[in-house]
Amino acid sequence: MSSDKPSKKKAPARNTKKATTAISTASKLDSIEKPTLTRQAMLELAGEDRERHTPAFFIGLVTAVALLSAFITFGIAQQIKPTVGNLTTLAAKTSGGVCLSEKELRDLVSKQKITAYWAGPVSDATYSINTSTAGQVFVRYVLKGQNCDSENKDFRVIATYQVSGAYDSTKAAGSQSNGVSLANPDGSIVYFNKNVPTNVYLAYQGLDYQIEIYDPNPKEAVTLATTANKIELIKG
């Protein structure tokens, strides 16, 4: 799942219709006082531009987007393959390339005392977890028919970043020109960059963790971030 640094990669060319949509979206944002955007408006904005980028563009974009706390998130782009040969070792199981059942994931997180958030279990899914980078944990949903070592970006990923002042930095990002933000009824703050609506950030007051929710469908990402009690700690 920072300072919201723009991607250094040149965005793919858009046709006139999509460009008009983007301008319309920007106009809507400029007319809304941040961060009081409603959940419905947030969903509408997330769903307006559903252009699918190539994997190469996505990887470049993710590696260019920094955590709101100001250090770079190489995050989602790293959730591909383990770097070890024996998939039964702890190192392999925490490298992001081994598919685990719900029970195996819960047991691993509990035994290793890993702080990780997710969106709850999904029927017929398995999960991978990557703790390779200190202070960053990535949980990927591998649905039935998908391969755990696939480089395809059609996976849901919930990332947990240990960030001092996570709430304040996430809230502040909403005041940026491309920022879209919402205060949930429980007091948590939700943010995404309107140019990258598939990546939504969530933070709670008094909690030094920032949660990034990636879903190929922007509306799903926003829905997960704004649904009460949907994002939760993984417990054994």
Q: Where are the domains of the chain?
A: 16-233
Over residues 150-161, the mean pLDDT reads 88
- Closest CA relative to residue 213, chosen from 227, 205, 150: 227
The yes-or-no verdict on residue 54 having pLDDT over 60 is: no
Q: Which of 59-73, 74-88, 141-155 has the lowest mean pLDDT?
A: 59-73
Burial of 230 (0-12, 13-18, 19+ CB in 10 A): middle
pLDDT for residue 75: 52
pLDDT band of residue 43 (cuts 50, 70, 90) is: low
Residue whose C-alpha is closest to residue 166's, from 221, 127, 212, 199 = 212
Quote the pLDDT of residue 80.
45
Looking at 33-47, 60-74, 92-106, 199-213, which range is the least confident one? 60-74
78 DSSP 8-state letter: G
Residue 146 has what pLDDT?
86
- One-letter amino acid at 22 equals A
| Contact between 127 and 143 (Cβ < 8 Å) | no
Per-residue confidence band for 46, with pLDDT thresholds at 50, 70 and 90: low
How confident is the model at residue 44, as a pLDDT? 63
| Residue 86: band (very low, low, confident or very high) from pLDDT cuts 50, 70, 90 | low
